[in-house]
Structure 1
Amino acid sequence: MSDTEYDVLAGVGPRLRALRRARGTTLAELATETGLTASTLSRLETGRLRPTLEQLLPLARAHGVPLDELVAAPPTGDPRIHMKPVRRSGYTVVPLTRRAGGVQAYKVIYPPAGRSETTDLQTHEGYEWFYVLDGHVRFVLGEQEFHLGPGEAAEFDTRIPHRIGSAGRRPAELLTLFGPQGERAHLSPSHH
């Protein structure tokens, strides 16, 4: 094993402990989530056990981080971020954040109006803020309807029945911040 490989693996334990503590998870809870024993998890966190791929994969999944972030793999020289778009009910969601919990950021692309647009209002726990990057949006919130264009933003409690979709012949692109437990994005002007 080269010094570089050893350095990468030596840093895994402290990162695992920091991720678990940041989530407020106990070793016992993480053991249930991953199928690894609490003893194995403790030895991994203290560095007494060198991690294997079979141990790291469920840990990366449980903590919601990519494997390369967990092991802090040395940079490859490729600065691009490789996000995997997800298609949902006709629209596309590109996650922009990789950390588990807290406010999450997404780019959402809605198809042109009339294509795969759901007419159902939805409700769920959380708080959402969105900014229209391109196109026009039809936003229904409860009994109200709004039309927003590029540069306009809205924020709302997602427990209120709502629907967002394109209002034009072109796709609508939005930057969305979503707090799963009703956490609001705190946007404040900078003070000079």
Structure 2
Amino acid sequence: MSGLLRAVRQERGMTLDDLAADTGLTKSYLSKVERGQSVPSIAAALKISRALEVDVAQLFSDDPEVSTISVDRAAERGADRHHAVAARMLGKEMSPFVVRPGRTFTTHPHPTHLGQEFIFVHSGRVELSHDGRIIALEAGDCAYFDASAPHKLRQIGEDAAEVVVVAGNAPRPGAPRRRG
């Protein structure tokens, strides 16, 4: 747990001082938790997970691979139209999906979100509607755009389309920017 908590905090670009300010816990206590010298109460664990924006169960998982790598096998994906990639991985700054668009633009109640989005057409052909503009994309094509404008995809042509969509999470207000 100790290495995992430290890794997620550092991924978020937070210092122990930042985490202490966000949780109301002391820097020395958080340091002890990170080093495995103290076990947090449920209330403290919830404060820490909220501040780091991760699920408390994952944050205190005993499985170190949950946070360091996620492998997604094509054979295990099924026929879902939207498949979240690396759903159990902690500290993600991106939200990747494999999408199989339908033949019509869907009516989505939330056609926008904060941040940016990248799409790569793996197979087939699609149309991207972005802020009222229609853009045709073929296998191998990609697009990167501001996701705060309305956007949606649809398959065109006879061949089934598969698209990799990566949504970049917008930083939370007041969060320190990653240095690197």
TM above 0.5, yes or no, is yes
CA pair 14-68 structure 1, distance change in 2 beyond 3 A: closer
User: 1:71 maps to what in 2?
Assistant: 62
User: 1:26 maps to what in 2?
Assistant: 19
Q: Specify every segment of 5 or more residues in structure 2 that has no aligned partner in the other structure, as ranges.
A: 172-180
- TM-score calculated relative to the size of structure 2: 0.61
- The CA RMSD over aligned residues, in Å, is 4.3
Query: Is residue 149 from structure 1 mapped to residue 138 from structure 2 by the alignment?
Result: yes
User: 2:99 maps to what in 1?
Assistant: 108
**Contact (CA 8 Å) 1:60, 1:67: kept in 2 or not?**
no
Structure with the greater alpha carbon radius of gyration: 1
AA in 1 matched with 2:169:
P
**Contact (CA 8 Å) 1:19, 1:63: kept in 2 or not?**
no
Given the alignment, which residue of 18, 39, 43 partners 2:32?
43
**Contact (CA 8 Å) 1:130, 1:176: kept in 2 or not?**
yes
User: 1:9 maps to what in 2?
Assistant: none
- How far did 1:134 drift? 1.9
Output one character per residue of 1:58-77: Cα deviation in whole Å (capped at 9) or x when no partner.
Answer: 56785537749953458xxx
For the residues of structure 2 that align with 1:105 and 1:119, how far apart are their CA atoms?
A: 18
CA pair 121-49 structure 1, distance change in 2 beyond 3 A: closer
Q: Specify every segment of 5 or more residues in structure 1 that has no aligned partner in the other structure, as ranges.
A: 1-11, 32-36, 183-192
- TM-score calculated relative to the size of structure 1: 0.58
Larger relative contact order (Cα-Cα within 8 Å, sequence gap ≥ 6)? 2
